[in-house]
Amino acid sequence: MGDRLDERENWLERLKSDLYVFKIPESEVMLMGELHNLISIHDLSRENIDMILERAKKMENVAIKRSKDFSSKIMACLFFEASTRTRLSFESAMIRLGGRVLGFADVAATSAGGKGETLADTIRTVERYADIIVMRHPLDGSARVAAEFSNIPIINAGSGSEEHPTQALLDLYSIMKMKGNVDGLTISLCGDLKYGRTVHSLGMALACYDVKVKLAAPESLRMKPAIIEEMQRAGIQVQQVDTLEDAIEDVDVVYMTRIQKERFPDTREYDAVKGKFRLTMREVDKMKDDSIILHPLPRVDEISSDVDSTPHARYFDQVYNGVVTRMAILDLILG
């Protein structure tokens, strides 16, 4: 057991180098319309992203009619961390494509959680049961570790506080579908920008587009400098603001996130910022008539419930877009 733990720790140490400058092996990048692993937004170019979004649009009809194309395929969902939308939308996507699903959502009941099995051994086992693995894990670097040990494709469904690439893709698809385009928009990312893996992936994805970005967060929860630098190198105008009032002014998309208590190493740090950056009707009344509000969910108290009935609130429509976007990703990997 000691050797296994050492093996796991060695892999994590190797992969704790700055994720945002990690050089992806060419074999893992989508080439000529084919995708193997999806670990980071950095695995994808603008051309790749546009191809996924276009495929998602085609999946709208497939989702309704259902397909039998993947009748021989099995997807394993390994969720070492709680999930509702990501896990169920991946399962829905696979079923609508005609495939089957196995896996777990209660890590404490598994060998990996209850008996101390290494992540490497879990992956080596599960790859014998399935054609593709979708994994969420609380440790940074975990998805990359899984990809190193797996002989079947790995999709990162959230790794620690670093990335959530499929959420970024469904966010882009939602923006494109609701606003007609991504290029030319002004987009505000608000809330927990330090620990929020969804905004990390979305920020890096926006670096592929001609947009303006506002970053609104308490000082202690501001976006990682490496991601800001990446957006600026791409020519994006990035503005950091301290209030929601500044964040919503003259923007096309307001992307809200919750303050994630479970990510804070010190609860006192969480107590100092909880309840801040709360979007209410007072702020919504000042938004542009055609602006939209998105949120990766779950919501706690950062969006007042009376905002739900306004035409700006599109986060529940955003949830469905996760199904067709993940159908597109599965289709490109397994199809």
Per residue in 126-137, pLDDT (tens digit) is 999 999 999 999
The alpha carbon of residue 37 and the mean position of all alpha carbons in its chain are separated, in whole angstroms, by 15
Catalytic residue among 57, 85, 278, 299: 85
268 tagged catalytic: no
Catalytic residue among 42, 55, 136, 326: 136
222 tagged catalytic: no
Structure tokens belonging to residue 332: 């490109």
Residue 138 has pLDDT above 60, yes or no: yes
Catalytic residue among 55, 164, 258, 326: 164
Residue written as token pair 């999946």? 59
* Predicted pLDDT of residue 262: 61
Per-residue confidence band for 260, with pLDDT thresholds at 50, 70 and 90: low
Q: How far apart are alpha carbons 19 and 241 in whole angstroms?
A: 25
Higher pLDDT, 15 or 280: 280
Catalytic residue among 23, 65, 68, 115: 115
Domain boundaries 2-164+321-334, CATH class: alpha beta
What pTM does this model have? 0.86
Q: How far apart are alpha carbons 51 and 254 in whole angstroms?
A: 25
Which whole-number Å values give the CA distances from 70 to 73, 86, 163, 167, 304, in the listed order? 5, 20, 28, 23, 41
Q: Give the Cβ contact number of residue 50 at 10 Å.
A: 16
Q: Which residue stretches of the chain are H helix?
A: 2-14, 46-65, 85-96, 111-114, 119-126, 142-149, 165-179, 197-206, 225-233, 244-248, 267-273, 281-284, 315-334
Give the pLDDT confidence of 35-63 residue by residue, as tens digits: 689 999 999 999 999 999 999 999 999 99
Per-residue confidence band for 113, with pLDDT thresholds at 50, 70 and 90: low
Quote the Cα angle for 168-159-334, to 5°: 65
CATH number for the segment(s) 165-319: 3.40.50.1370
136 tagged catalytic: yes
85 tagged catalytic: yes
The whole-chain average pLDDT of the chain stands at 86
Q: How far apart are alpha carbons 214 and 190 in whole angstroms?
A: 8
Domain residue spans in the chain? 2-164+321-334, 165-319
Catalytic residue among 8, 42, 86, 295: 86
* Residue among 238, 244, 255, 241 nearest 291 (CA): 255
* Predicted pLDDT of residue 8: 46
200 tagged catalytic: no
